[in-house]
């Protein structure tokens, strides 16, 4: 009896706020993905499933791991169980894995290639999303940002509309050094050209496995039923400054929830995400600060204890 073909896995990696979820939504509508039986495995560095709520598409099988990074020992079991369920219950043509922004690609591939899974899954490609305006700022300090780019089969330089000509030129030079072999495309809003994914070929690039998340990076999730004072919230963001790497979720400033996002020092607000629970529910990711201190900053603004 001939063994079944392994299920293809598409890895979406990229540093915090680069636009992985936006690219995922584009891919779900793209040639080569639309019409296939797809399962989504979404991992977040934080306890709220914000990214899962932002994914478009009805009827997709979705699995979320929200306790921390996939490469952390504490959630490896959850990751293995999710893949087992996908293979046994969903039996898709393709699994798209959106990894947390501080993941190590080599660890993801080691898990997928482990005994018992390696025969049922095969990495199709690893797309790394790079924020055109902020990558050169974080790359010198945070290993995950550069290791993801080095391991990529292709690099999607996103948010080019927010970067100047000088920033783009500097970024191109840096990416030439980090990964000269990977094809690149420069886009805004994740709009990769038709056929780009089909041209990408996978090649495993190993590196030392990581047993835990980078020690300088912490996350905390918050929830509140009471309206949040906007001035106090803004003051917290200003005081945290560049220590705040990422913030995403709903915040109710007294006129109903708004989806608030901070990435690369830029803040935006739009219509709320469909999150279960109270009107204010968001995750903050920071570095050069411990978790109790991060919780204390936002607890002052919310006037309520952070969610456990």
Looking at the domain assignment, is residue 205 inside a domain? Answer: no
> What is the tens place of the pLDDT at every residue in 80-118?
888 889 999 999 999 999 887 777 777 777 778 777 776
* Residue 79 shares a structural domain with residue 172: yes
Looking at the domain assignment, is residue 289 inside a domain? Answer: yes
Which CATH number is 290's domain given? 3.30.1220.10
Kindly tell me the burial class for residue 186, based on how many C-beta atoms sit within 10 Å of its own C-beta (0-12, 13-18, 19 or more): middle
pLDDT tier at 279 (50, 70, 90 boundaries)?
A: very high
Domain limit, last residue, from 168, 199, 230: 199
Strands 94-98 and 280-287: unpaired
* Residue 173 shares a structural domain with residue 27: yes
What SS3 string covers the chain? CCCCCCEEEEEEEECCCCCHHHHHHHHHCCCCCCCCCEEEEEECCCCCCHHHHHCCCCCCEEEEECCCCCCCHHHHHHHHHHHHHHHHHHCCCEEEEECCCCCCHHHHHHHHCCCCCCCCEEEEEEEEEEECCCHHHHCCCCHHHHHHHHHCCEEEEECHHHCCHHHHHHHHHHHHHHCCCCCEEECCCCCCCCCCHHHCCCCCCCCCCCCCCCCCEEEEEEEECCCCCHHHHHHHHHHHHHHEEEEEEEEECCCCEEEEEEECCEEEEECCCCCCCCCEEEEEEEECCCHHHHHHHHHHHHCCCCCC
Residues 186 and 132 sit within 8 Å (Cβ to Cβ): yes
Checking if the pLDDT of 68 tops 60, the result is: no
- Work out the average pLDDT over 151-159: 95
Looking at the domain assignment, is residue 34 inside a domain? Answer: yes
The phi and psi torsions of 87 (rounded to 5 degrees) equal -65, -40
Residues 184 and 154 sit within 8 Å (Cβ to Cβ): yes
Name, of 9-18, 41-50, 151-160, the range with top average pLDDT.
151-160
* Residue 238 shares a structural domain with residue 91: no
Looking at the domain assignment, is residue 65 inside a domain? Answer: yes
Domain limit, last residue, from 199, 230, 265: 199
The pLDDT, as a whole number, for residue 304 is 47
- Work out the average pLDDT over 180-201: 93
* Residue 185 shares a structural domain with residue 59: yes
Residues 307 and 297 sit within 8 Å (Cβ to Cβ): no
* Residue 142 shares a structural domain with residue 280: no
> Angle formed by the axes of helices 165-178 and 143-151, to 10°?
70
Residue 53's domain spans which residues? 7-199
> What is the tens place of the pLDDT at every residue in 192-237?
998 898 889 988 765 544 444 444 678 888 999 999 999 999 999 9
* Residue 191 shares a structural domain with residue 127: yes
Looking at the domain assignment, is residue 1 inside a domain? Answer: no
* Residue 127 shares a structural domain with residue 260: no
Which CATH number is 119's domain given? 3.40.50.300
* Residue 161 shares a structural domain with residue 292: no
* Residue 223 shares a structural domain with residue 177: no
| Count of domains for the chain | 2
* Residue 18 shares a structural domain with residue 79: yes
Domain limit, last residue, from 132, 167, 199: 199
* Residue 186 shares a structural domain with residue 292: no
pLDDT tier at 298 (50, 70, 90 boundaries)?
A: very high
Looking at the domain assignment, is residue 207 inside a domain? Answer: no
Looking at the domain assignment, is residue 222 inside a domain? Answer: yes
pLDDT tier at 244 (50, 70, 90 boundaries)?
A: confident
Checking if the pLDDT of 31 tops 60, the result is: yes
Looking at the domain assignment, is residue 168 inside a domain? Answer: yes
* Residue 150 shares a structural domain with residue 226: no
Checking if the pLDDT of 71 tops 50, the result is: no
């Amino acid at each position: 009896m001939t063994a079944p073909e392994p299920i293809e896995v598409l890895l979406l990696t990229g540093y915090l706020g680069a636009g992985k979820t936006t690219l995922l939504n584009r891919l779900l509508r793209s040639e080569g993905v639309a019409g296939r039986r797809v399962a989504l495995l979404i991992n977040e560095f934080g306890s709220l499933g914000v990214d899962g709520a932002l994914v478009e598409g009805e009827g997709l099988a979705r699995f979320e791991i929200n306790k921390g990074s996939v490469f952390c020992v504490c959630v490896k079991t959850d990751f293995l169980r999710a893949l087992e369920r996908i293979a046994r219950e969903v039996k898709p043509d393709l699994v798209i894995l959106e990894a947390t922004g501080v993941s190590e690609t080599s660890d993801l591939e080691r898990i997928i290639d482990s005994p018992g899974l390696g025969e049922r899954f095969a990495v199709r490609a690893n797309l790394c999303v790079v924020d055109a305006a902020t990558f050169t700022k974080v790359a010198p300090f945070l290993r995950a940002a550069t290791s993801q780019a080095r391991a990529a089969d292709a690099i999607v330089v996103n948010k080019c509309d927010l970067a100047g000509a000088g920033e783009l030129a500097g970024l191109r030079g840096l990416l030439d050094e980090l990964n000269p072999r990977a094809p690149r495309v420069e886009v805004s809003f994740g709009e990769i050209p038709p056929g780009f994914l089909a041209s990408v070929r996978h090649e495993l690039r190993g590196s030392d496995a990581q047993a835990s998340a980078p020690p300088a990076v912490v996350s905390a999730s918050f929830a509140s039923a009471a309206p949040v004072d906007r001035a106090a919230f803004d003051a917290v963001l200003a005081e945290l400054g560049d220590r705040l790497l990422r913030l995403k979720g709903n915040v109710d400033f007294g006129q109903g929830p708004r989806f608030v996002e901070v990435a690369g020092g830029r803040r935006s607000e739009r219509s709320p995400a469909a999150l279960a629970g109270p009107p204010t529910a968001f995750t903050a990711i920071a570095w050069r600060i411990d978790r109790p201190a991060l919780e204390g900053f936002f607890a002052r603004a919310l006037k309520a204890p952070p969610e456990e």
